[in-house]
Structure 1
Amino acid sequence: MIIIKENAVRLPLGMILSLLALNALAGGYYGMAGAENVPLEWLEGSPFKSYFLPSLFLFVVIGGSCILAAILVFNHHRYARNAAFICGILVLLWIITQVSIIGYVSWMQPTTTMVGMIILFLTYLLPKTRN
């Protein structure tokens, strides 16, 4: 059995969650502000007429869950594993939904998928706290 020091998992997990939160907040803001230079044709056949609602979801749900999970991870909170796991699942569901609606349009889609899987893997390695 491989024994990993807690901070060897906690620090990268918290940093990844923080960077993903910044990305989701920036992307959500950009979309809510009109998503200049992003073709509206990508939304054809979807339930959306603009990028506002998906961007609001990205900003609040994805960005918010990432911020919460990062805070809990950095603070060794007893719900850190649960929050990080939920965040990883939400990110994967987000990207699956996005690709199913608009198709493959950016290198960020596979990158975000990998980040979501890394979050789940690091969450699995994160030791449980007792407090």
Structure 2
Amino acid sequence: MKLVHRKSFACYLLLSLHIFLAIGAFIGGGALLIFPDGSILSLPLEILQNSPFQNYFLPGLILFSAFGIFPLITAIFLSSKKPIKAFEKLSIYKSMHWSWNFSFYIGIMLIIWIMVQILIMQAVVFIHIFYILLGFFIIVITFLSSVRAFCLIN
């Protein structure tokens, strides 16, 4: 008999956080791709003086893909739990669905992304704190027992 776990409130919350992150990254990253001078978001190019970037195009591309596309795909497959062999190979926790592993990765990547921004800008603003906390909450919720039970590979 196969044990089936239903999605808990924590599962829905995790899906919502990934979708929230993706929407924000699509908007912010897309804006930086279209306006790489940062003008649309009131980001002066001087912020990049301690970085390897001349403009915001590459950071926008990273934001759009790593924190837009990646979390959206993860949310879709967290919900459906469909296997993808290529992604399964990138899983650290082999007993868990690959999307559960990717949820953990996204939380870690988000915290690192914001820490790098803080180092480059040499300043901390509210949005940095907000997104570090979002990354932390994604990690914590990913490891909740009800989420782990749902994402366990039977």
Among residues 126, 129, 132, which one is paired with 1:107 in the alignment? 126
Match of 1:91 in 2: 110
Per the normalisation by structure 2, the TM-score is 0.76
CA RMSD of aligned residues (A): 1.6
Among residues 128, 141, 150, which one is paired with 1:122 in the alignment? 141
Match of 1:72 in 2: 77
Output the CA distance in 2 between the equivalents of 1:103 and 1:75. 41
Q: CA deviation at 1:6?
A: 4.3
Per the normalisation by structure 1, the TM-score is 0.88
Output the CA distance in 2 between the equivalents of 1:111 and 1:57. 19
Retained in 2: the 8 A contact 1:68–1:83? no
Alignment of 1:44 with 2:28, yes or no, is no
Q: CA deviation at 1:105?
A: 5.2
Write out per-residue CA displacement over residues 10-58 of structure 1, whole angstroms, 9 at most, x where no aligned residue.
Answer: 1000000000000011110111122212111111121111011111111
- Could you tell which deviates more after superposition, 25-34 or 107-116? 25-34
Poorly superposed stretches of 4+, deviation over 3 Å: none
Gaps of 5+ in 2: 1-5, 83-96
Percent identity between matched residues is 29
Output the CA distance in 2 between the equivalents of 1:105 and 1:96. 9
Output the CA distance in 2 between the equivalents of 1:89 and 1:70. 16
Retained in 2: the 8 A contact 1:76–1:129? no
Q: Which has the larger radius of gyration?
A: 2
Provide the aligned length of Structure 1 versus Structure 2. Answer: 127
